Amino acid sequence: MISKIKNKAPGFFLHDLIQVIVGATILAIPVGFTQEVWELSIELPFFNIIGIFITSIMFISVFTYYHYHNVSVKKNWKVFVKRVSLTYVFSFATVCVLLGLIDKVSLYQNLIVSLKMAVIVTLPASMSAAVADTIK
């Protein structure tokens, strides 16, 4: 039984994508729908947003490494990078859609603030997406 869990197929499939989107939604809604995040996206300097982005990638990478690839990351580094990248990209896209639905992001007005807001909300959303991706 343990060997089956350790040797789980490391690819990124349609069911993984659905789990990432649902997982990202779990925390994107309560975090993204708060006025504190909207104000924070205006106040935080861009350097801090880059730090939040890097922190998101690091959290996803560590979680993915220990869940899927802790022994075989050298053999499957492309799959590892693909899984981490797709988890972040689809979490970010989910956050953008949700924030767009409540009219908090705009491609035409305040693009920088919209991107900052999406990156801030994607931090918790990507973590819940990574965790949800492990559920069978």
Mean pLDDT by 10 residues, the chain (136 residues): 45 83 93 93 95 96 79 75 92 95 87 94 95 82
pLDDT in the model for residue 77: 82
Q: Tell me the C-alpha distance between 83 and 61, whole Å.
A: 9
pLDDT in the model for residue 10: 58
Q: Tell me the C-alpha distance between 40 and 49, whole Å.
A: 10
Q: Tell me the C-alpha distance between 31 and 59, whole Å.
A: 18
Q: Tell me the C-alpha distance between 24 and 93, whole Å.
A: 9
The end-to-end CA distance of the chain, in Å, is 14
pLDDT in the model for residue 60: 94
CB atoms within 10 A of CB 76: 16
Give 134's DSSP letter.
T
Give 73's DSSP letter.
T
pLDDT in the model for residue 14: 85
CB 28 within 8 A of CB 95: yes
pLDDT in the model for residue 75: 75
pLDDT in the model for residue 44: 95
What global pTM score does this model have?
A: 0.86
